[in-house]
Structure 1
């Protein structure tokens, strides 16, 4: 899973195929403990897939980029929702926070690319009903 602007040889990737999750990182230090596991966390009501935990995040050093890709089930979208209203959400102390994400309708995946670690270790694809801001008038 390439991260735009980075040589594929410098990207460490982990997958959890059973739930369709992939995380790739470019970091100075990527320990062997870095990985993905099924989460025991209760998913949010608007989840469109299974939550996953990224383990070993605290041991990553000198992070340059993180790419998170999750498969989602479009049949779980609320009636009338746009198929592009999907985002990677991360569990924080305040609840589930949607990240800026890109949807691939053909592959039914949602991807977030960050310049640092996500603000939490539990991730899920979810319905994002936030109003998007248009370009300045």
Structure 2
């Protein structure tokens, strides 16, 4: 499946079927070393799948678009959680950061589309409860 708005002949596709991960990328330079690998990193407690490494991400140049699609296990959602409260999360120096994502309930996949490289090279499908958090206004 190509990235919407991009000619499929310009999209490089990478799949790691054993963990249900796929990355489509449009960039000026995508090195041969780029690809997906099962991560050795410990997943966050709210992970709904195994983490995946985007190998050689730092070597990709002039990214126009990147789509990360991950299969997740809905049975791992916390009790009472909405099945749409799922996001692609990236491991950053500050912890796991959820990306703006779209959930396909029928395919049990979550997808993030970016116009730049993600803030880290390890991604996971995880429970995203940001909408449930409420911040009290200061008086």
Task: Normalising by structure 2, report the TM-score.
Answer: 0.94
Gaps in structure 2 of 5+ consecutive residues: 133-139
Question: Which runs of 5 or more residues in structure 1 are unaligned?
Answer: 133-137
Where does residue 38 of structure 1 map in the other structure? 38
Calculate the aligned-residue CA RMSD, in Å. 1.1
Structure 1 CA distance for aligned equivalents of residues 2 and 91 of structure 2: 25
Return structure 1 stretches of 4+ with deviation > 2 angstroms: none
1:95 is aligned to: 95
Give the match for residue 129 of structure 1: 129
1:24, CA displacement in angstroms?
0.8
Partners of 1:72 and 1:63 lie apart in 2 by 26
Output aligned runs, 1:1-137, within 5 Å: 1-131=1-131
How far apart in 2 are the matches of 1:131 and 1:87? Answer: 12
Deviations, residues 38-74 of structure 1 (Å, cap 9, x unaligned): 1000000000001000011111111100000000000
Aligned length: 133
SS in 1 for 2:42: coil
Query: What is the CA-CA distance between 1:131 and the residue it aligns to?
Result: 1.4
What SS does the aligned partner of 1:28 have?
A: strand
